[in-house]
Every structure is written in C-alpha cells, then in structure tokens.
Amino acid sequence: MIRYFRFFLFLSALLILVILLHKLGAFRQLENSLTFFTSRAPGALYQAHIADEHLQNEFSSVSELEVAYKNLKAGHKDYQTLEARFRILEEENLSLRQQLGFIQKNKLQSVGANVVGRNIDPVGNTIVLDRGSRDGVQIDSPIIVEGGVFVGKVMRVYEQTSVVRLVVDNQSKVAATVLNQDRSIGIVEGGLGISLQMNLIPQNEEISVGDTVVTSGLEANIPRGLILGIVQATEKEPYKPFQKAIVTPSVDVNRLGAVSVLLSKI
C-alpha cells in the first residue's frame, strides 16, 4: 500500500513539473515542431499519392515510359539547336551593328554580304560571298567586319557572287601603318597560318608589342585606318635596312558570317 502511495506522489509531482515547465515555455520549440509536422505531413503524403496516381495513369507500361523519355531527349536536342542558332544570330547582329556604325561614321559606301562558301585548299584562304557585280562589288574591294576590321579584298567577281582573298592567305598583301610615334609604314602579308607579318618597316623606327596596325590608305580602294591587328613580336637584325613584326589579326577569319563590302564612291 505504501509503495502505491509513493508511486502516486511521484506521478503527481511529475505532472506538476510538466505543467510548470509548459507555463514557462520550455516545451515551445518541441510543440512548434510537432504542430508543423502534423500540419504539413498529411498534405505531403497526399501530394505524393496524387503524383504516384498521375504517373500510373500517364505510363501504363515500361515501353510508354521509354517513348516519353526519348521524346523528352529529342526535345532537349531541339532546344540546344535553337539556342545555338540564337547565339549565332546574336553575334552576327552585334557585328552588323558595329559595321553599320563604322560605315556611317566614316561616310563610306557599302553593301552587306553573307559568306556562302570557303575554300578547302591548305595553301590558300578564300571565301565566297553572295554579292557580285550587280551589287557594285569590284575586284580589290575591301571586306570589313565589326568596327572596321579589315579581313580581305575581292579577287574575283561574278554577277551574283564574288571570291575574297582573306588577309591570312599566302598571296595577301596590304599597305599598312603602325600606330606608334613614327607612324611606321610597311606591307602586311599572310601565309603564317593564323598570324600576319609586316615587312619593310624602317630599321630606325621603334615598334613595340601591343601596337595597333591599320591600313595606310596608300593602296587604291582601301581607305586608311581599317584595323589589321596587334603587334605580337618584332624581328630586328643588325645591318639590315628593314625590320619585321608579327601581327595577330583582330578577328578569327575562319569564323566569318556576315561582312560588309566597301564600294568605290561614284
């Protein structure tokens, strides 16, 4: 009997302690967690049940699931193709706006053209444009991209198309000027792969890595100031009247899409 009485007193004391702790807020964090769980758990279970029923209704067999997966994969490839086309169009649009700005600023006459062909001869480097004599294109007409970057000149003209010898071609030559203190002049030639070489630079003039090279305007049909590239290195040998400079083109001529053909003023 005494044992039961002690057990009753222990339970009473424990109950009083629990009530007191509850009043003091000791169980508030635990109560909040239990409330959150009991309020969210049924909804989560219901959503999982609905999703499971939806999948069961959507795919009645493994073959249907495989077909759906293949369709999803094909759709992803289509999206990647569209994204790639969008990026190309975005780059071409930016280049065309830069070309137009340069042409308007310098009051030049031009016609836009698209690259529709490219040679596969390892010793040559030419492209085909969708503009020809009916559009005013002539032999030696300069080709530019972006904000006045020279990439080549026309070597053959047909009625609706024309062939352009790119600046990196081994037969390409253009009169050029270095934008240094001496405004050094010379001839920029191709044939070095992705680089250019500027020859016939007077030995006594200072050429520095990083100098900009532009067309000199000493050549018919090619205006002064078209950008050719940046000096990458110099070759200066004693007792020789001229020095050389290796020039890195300002654009990758192997990725040309939309260009501008500068026309002779009538």
- Closest to 102 measured CA to CA, from 162, 145, 143: 145
Task: Note whether 50 and 165 are same-domain residues.
Answer: no
Task: Note whether 85 and 189 are same-domain residues.
Answer: yes
Judge whether 202 and 183 are in contact, CB under 8 Å.
no
64 lies in some domain: no
Q: Check residue 8 and give its pLDDT.
A: 52
40 lies in some domain: yes
Domain enclosing residue 21, as ranges: 2-57
Task: Note whether 32 and 80 are same-domain residues.
Answer: no
Cα separation, 69 vs 59, whole angstroms: 11
Confidence of residue 240 (pLDDT cuts 50, 70, 90): confident
- pTM check: above 0.75: no
Q: Which two tokens stand for residue 236?
A: 């200066």
pLDDT tens digits, 14-56: 556 555 555 555 555 555 554 544 445 455 544 554 444 454 4
β-strand partners of 231: 247
Task: Note whether 91 and 176 are same-domain residues.
Answer: yes
Q: Check residue 87 and give its pLDDT.
A: 66
Task: Note whether 42 and 165 are same-domain residues.
Answer: no
63 lies in some domain: no
Domain with residue 186: its CATH number is 2.40.10.350
Q: What is the mean pLDDT of the chain?
A: 79
pLDDT tens digits, 119-131: 866 667 999 999 9
Task: Note whether 164 and 127 are same-domain residues.
Answer: yes
Amino acid at 142: P
Task: Note whether 235 and 109 are same-domain residues.
Answer: yes
Question: Which segments of the chain are extended strands (E)?
Answer: 109-118, 126-129, 142-145, 149-157, 162-166, 173-178, 185-192, 195-202, 212-215, 227-235, 242-249, 258-263
62 lies in some domain: no
**DSSP 8-state class, residue 134:** G
State the Rg of the chain over Cα: 38
70 lies in some domain: no
Token look-up 């007409």 returns: 141
Task: Note whether 257 and 165 are same-domain residues.
Answer: yes
Instruction: Specify the number of domains making up the chain.
Output: 2
Task: Note whether 10 and 102 are same-domain residues.
Answer: no
69 lies in some domain: no
